[in-house]
Amino acid sequence: MKYARIFLGIGTMISILMAIAIFFLTGVNKHNVSPLVSLGERYIGQENYEEAVLAFSRAIEIEPRTARALYGRARANIGLGNNEMSLADLVAVADIAPDKAEKINWMIDKINRGEGDDIILLPYREEVASDDEFKNIRFKSDDREIAVVLDRSGSMQGTPMEATKVASRGFVSKILQNYADVGIITFDDATDLVADFSMDEQYLIDRINTIEPGGGTDTAQGLQFAHECLKNSGARQKIIVLMSDGQAQSDPIPSAEEIKEDGITIYTLGFFSEISDKAYVQSVMEEIASEGCHYEVDSEQVLQGFFDDIASQINGQKYYYIRIACPVDVSVKCNGETLNSAKATTSKRTSFGSLTFEENDKSEESSDQSAYNSIEGFENNESGQQRVSDTRIKVLRLKSDNDYDIEIVGNGKGKMDYTIGFMDDDGEYTDLRRFKSIPISKKTVINTIAEDSATTVLNVDSDGDGKVDTKYKAGKNGRGKEVDDSFTIIIICSAVAGIILLILIIIIINKIKAKRRGE
């Protein structure tokens, strides 16, 4: 009886372990299939059919009855001229998904007539079962759908509107290089779907060219309209890119929160050069945006560059996002180029990243009455020279292809908030490390490294003597905490002392042995 219970317990344990293993294996399989299918569809958009076949085949190896992967491989094989392989995969799709049978039979007939090339870009979700239906469809991506939401209020009249059109055309051209649908929505007092979601670059550009400025700035309505357009999309990734130059007529933040809760990423571009109270509208646009996805634009000349940055990020370029709020200057050097807030009154760009500024709406007390809320404020330093106390928020976006040494130097008294964000493979900042209320004076020098590592460390030299006085450390999605090295130092000193003592003991023992042998 005793042994029976033991064997029963062992059998139960084995069953539990097997169940856990199966759960994780199947979970991993399901997790791995979707990115592979999306990758294959992106390769099709780039006409890289060989890589597309490989990506879809890997997905099918993991889960053989994935209809979308089989359908994608059929399209890729059409591009390679492997019609027999395409037909076999299409038959398998019809077996797995009977609701697609009519569409699949039409495709098979089309391939047999030698017209298969026409359907390479026909996505899985399009219900097309005849040549007439095929002629009237607009090709769409199964991978990503992007709503570009543009402010066309009256304040956009003239150069701002023309610059927006130029930047939007460039964005469309760049984003379509990586297989995505783009729709163009405009808003003033009302909203308008200027261009339905499409992969047709010329169609989108022609529609952008028709945009004209109108009335007010109902940002909330523009967001809600984009949300409705994206709600029923079958795309894996849904994105809104919002550009506005004015204060919203009604609060758009509740609409933005609802959109983000639905898994839609929001990028915002604030273009507020003509607004006196920039701090408030900047904070609203930052609240609208997904974490780390607000861009501040200070002139028409750099608008194109920031649209390009967003396109690059959506297309897979990873960035480090760094936000520093305090009276400090920040400097980053890489490959002979420098981003330095002390030498930049407007946003600055290099090949490795960008530096932008936001107004700081927090009022702070200062013993030397520094002008904390404006770049125009001056103060006397110890040598009697005047120097700017710049409390603007500094935002760095650095391409994560490199590691960066970052130097932060105080130019006033206050407390610094420092945030660094790291991207996942979908371009979202899922790892944000925050350091709060670090004391700053005009002598403070802080050094840190932007790198994809387990922890981020700030080395603080509070009095400028070249020695680190305090260290702060934060891990993934953690808060920075002061590091107490005293225990580590004690352990190291104890270890060193122990080693020295051991060596001395060995020397003494050897001498005693030698003396005895001599006797």
| Rounded distance between C-alpha atoms, residue 419 and residue 406, angstroms | 13
Would you state the pLDDT for residue 23? 40
Give ranges for CATH 3.40.50.410 in the chain. 141-316
| Rounded distance between C-alpha atoms, residue 42 and residue 47, angstroms | 9
Instruction: Give the mean pLDDT of the chain.
Output: 84
Interior angle at CA 266, CA 37 and CA 423, nearest 5: 60
Neighbours of 2 (CB within 10 A): 6
Say whether pLDDT at 216 is over 50: yes
Say whether pLDDT at 173 is over 80: yes
pLDDT tens sequence across 385-420: 444 577 889 999 999 999 999 999 999 999 999 999
Would you state the pLDDT for residue 486? 61
Q: Give the neighbor-by-neighbor strand order of the sheet with 181-187.
A: 191-198, 181-187, 144-151, 237-244, 265-271, 294-297
Prediction pTM value: 0.73
β-pairing verdict for 328-334 and 404-410: antiparallel
Say whether pLDDT at 434 is over 50: yes
Say whether pLDDT at 272 is over 80: no
Confidence of residue 485 (pLDDT cuts 50, 70, 90): low
Say whether pLDDT at 488 is over 70: no
Say whether pLDDT at 4 is over 50: no
Per this entry, what is the length of the chain?
519
Say whether pLDDT at 362 is over 60: no
| Rounded distance between C-alpha atoms, residue 73 and residue 83, angstroms | 11
Neighbours of 383 (CB within 10 A): 6
Domain 22-135: give its CATH architecture.
Alpha Horseshoe (1.25)
Q: Give the neighbor-by-neighbor strand order of the sheet with 328-334.
A: 337-340, 328-334, 404-410, 445-450, 456-461, 470-474, 481-482
Confidence of residue 37 (pLDDT cuts 50, 70, 90): confident
Domain 141-316 is classified in which CATH homologous superfamily? von Willebrand factor, type A domain (3.40.50.410)
Query: Which parts of 63-212 fold into alpha helices (H)?
Result: 67-79, 83-96, 101-112, 131-135, 159-175, 201-208
Give ranges for CATH 1.25.40.10 in the chain. 22-135
Pick the range with the lowest mean pLDDT from 86-95, 278-287, 324-333. Answer: 278-287
Would you state the pLDDT for residue 24? 42
Calculate mean pLDDT across residues 276-301: 87
Calculate mean pLDDT across residues 370-374: 36
β-pairing verdict for 265-271 and 237-244: parallel
pLDDT tens sequence across 237-268: 899 999 998 778 889 999 999 999 999 999 99
For the chain, give the percent of residues with pLDDT over 70.
86
